[in-house]
Amino acid sequence: MRPDSEPARWRGTTVRAVAIAIGAAAILAFPAVAANPYMLTVGIGILNYAVLATAWNFVGGFTGYISLGHGALSGLGAYGTGLLITGAGLPSFVALGVAAVIVGVLAIPIGIAALRVRGASFVIVSIALVLILLLVFQSWAQLTGGSRGFVVPRPFPHLHRAEHHLVFFFLFAGLLALALVAWWLIDRSHFGLGLKAIREDEDKAQSLGIPTFAAKLVVFVVSAVFTALGGGLYALWFGDLDPVFQFSVLSGSTTVLIALLGGVRHLFGPLLGALVVGAGLEYFKLEYGDTPLHLVATGVLLGGVVMFMPEGIIPGLFGLYRRWFAPSDVSIREVTAAALLDASRRVPEDRERASREAGR
């Protein structure tokens, strides 16, 4: 464990709690500050990105597997919700829940097939999943409306459009909170520890007795459920589904970019990434219109992150800051073995001192 030169832990916790409270208040206050309903839709778009990226981060952050195919799961959630409403007559939010459960169940065989392979094959399989579902949903037009689109009935048909956006803003915020809490719980748990071991070195984790395959599968299913909830909620809000947009490798990879940007190891990393990317895309659209340049920008950004800051821009920038202004906090790679030994000897002393101070 690294030497911790930060102030005592109880102060850190309070600051953290206050910061979270302020952040939550900011999000809840946004609709009041937003100048017009259009900005609200932009806000919903960002929350949607954040939900999908956080859901993706269950797999990407904990196990280290990069799935470019989460678009398949959100698309299934979206169409599932829509079909349950129009075909089975379920009320909107019941359909949402049932669709998410169905996708979770489907995720088991998908996970079993996909998680057996690693690395390049896993990515290829995840992409192939999205593409084959795209073909299926385009061809099975009788069921899905094909490329003519699928209309999802409004859950609250009597609302004026601006009110509709308002309600869904809070619904998305609620879903995001749920996903964040779940991520946080796994992060602190023993289960999460096992997953992180898989991320560090899967073979060694396996030899330590961690049931790697079962653990990966469980977290994949959790990720799938949250992704499907995000997709289904989007379907209820947006109302019009087209296979080309629901089963899109591009949107799946935007999710990955968002998570990478904000930092996959952190709870709020995907949310941060969503803010940056969402605001950036919106700015681009308003300044330059709908040009393909934003694709170039996304590509350059993703390439830059991969090449130079694979732990995420925000963590990367703060790492730079720390290296600049607090040079004792260096990366473990740059510490010699002797200094490391020295530091690890100091930790129990720190902890004793901290507990003495706390007890005072």
Kindly identify the residues of this chain, within the stretch 65-124, that bind other proteins according to CB under 8 A.
Answer: 65-66, 68, 113, 116-124
Return d(Cα 162, Cα 147) in angstroms, integer. Answer: 28
Least separation in angstroms between residue 59's CB and other proteins is 11
Structure-token match 């909830």, residue found: 229
Structure-token match 């949402």, residue found: 96
Return d(Cα 294, Cα 159) in angstroms, integer. Answer: 34
Least separation in angstroms between residue 221's CB and other proteins is 19
From 182, 311, 343, 350, residue interacting with other proteins (rule: CB under 8 A): 311
User: Could you tell me which stretch among 79-87, 166-174, 221-229, 294-302 binds other proteins (CB under 8 A)?
Assistant: 294-302
- The SS3 assignment for 66 reads coil
Residues between 121 and 140 with contacts to other proteins, criterion CB under 8 A: 121-125, 127-128, 131-132, 135-136, 138-139
Least separation in angstroms between residue 26's CB and other proteins is 4
Structure-token match 């930060």, residue found: 6
| Phi, psi at 30, each rounded to 5° | -55, -45
Residues between 142 and 171 with contacts to other proteins, criterion CB under 8 A: 146-149, 151, 160-162, 164
The verdict on 348 binding other proteins (CB under 8 A) reads: no
The verdict on 36 binding other proteins (CB under 8 A) reads: yes
From 89, 109, 292, 327, residue interacting with other proteins (rule: CB under 8 A): 292
Residues between 14 and 33 with contacts to other proteins, criterion CB under 8 A: 15-16, 19-20, 22-23, 26-27, 30, 33
The verdict on 272 binding other proteins (CB under 8 A) reads: yes
The verdict on 39 binding other proteins (CB under 8 A) reads: yes
Q: Which amino acid is at 164?
A: H
The verdict on 302 binding other proteins (CB under 8 A) reads: yes
Output the six-digit token pair for 207: 């030899």
The verdict on 53 binding other proteins (CB under 8 A) reads: no
From 291, 339, 340, 342, residue interacting with other proteins (rule: CB under 8 A): 291
Q: Which is nearer to other proteins, 93 or 284 (CB)?
A: 284
Residues whose CB is less than 8 angstroms from the CB of residue 35 and which lie 6 or more positions away in sequence, other chains included: none
From 94, 177, 181, 279, residue interacting with other proteins (rule: CB under 8 A): 279
The verdict on 350 binding other proteins (CB under 8 A) reads: no
Residues whose CB is less than 8 angstroms from the CB of residue 186 and which lie 6 or more positions away in sequence, other chains included: 58, 62, 192, 195, 219, 222
Total residues in contact with other proteins, by rule CB under 8 A: 113
| Range 314-335 burial, b when 16+ CB lie within 10 A, else e | bbbeebeeeeeeeeeeeeeeee
Residues whose CB is less than 8 angstroms from the CB of residue 160 and which lie 6 or more positions away in sequence, other chains included: none
The verdict on 315 binding other proteins (CB under 8 A) reads: yes
Nearest Cα residue to 46 out of 222, 163, 169: 169
Nearest Cα residue to 25 out of 17, 15, 13: 17
Q: Which is nearer to other proteins, 141 or 214 (CB)?
A: 141
Q: Answer yes or no: are the C-beta atoms of 251 and 167 closer than 8 Å.
A: no
Least separation in angstroms between residue 89's CB and other proteins is 19
Q: Which amino acid is at 226?
A: F
Least separation in angstroms between residue 98's CB and other proteins is 25
Q: Which is nearer to other proteins, 51 or 276 (CB)?
A: 276
Residues between 217 and 256 with contacts to other proteins, criterion CB under 8 A: 238-240, 242, 244-245, 249-250, 253, 256
Nearest Cα residue to 177 out of 229, 100, 232, 220: 229
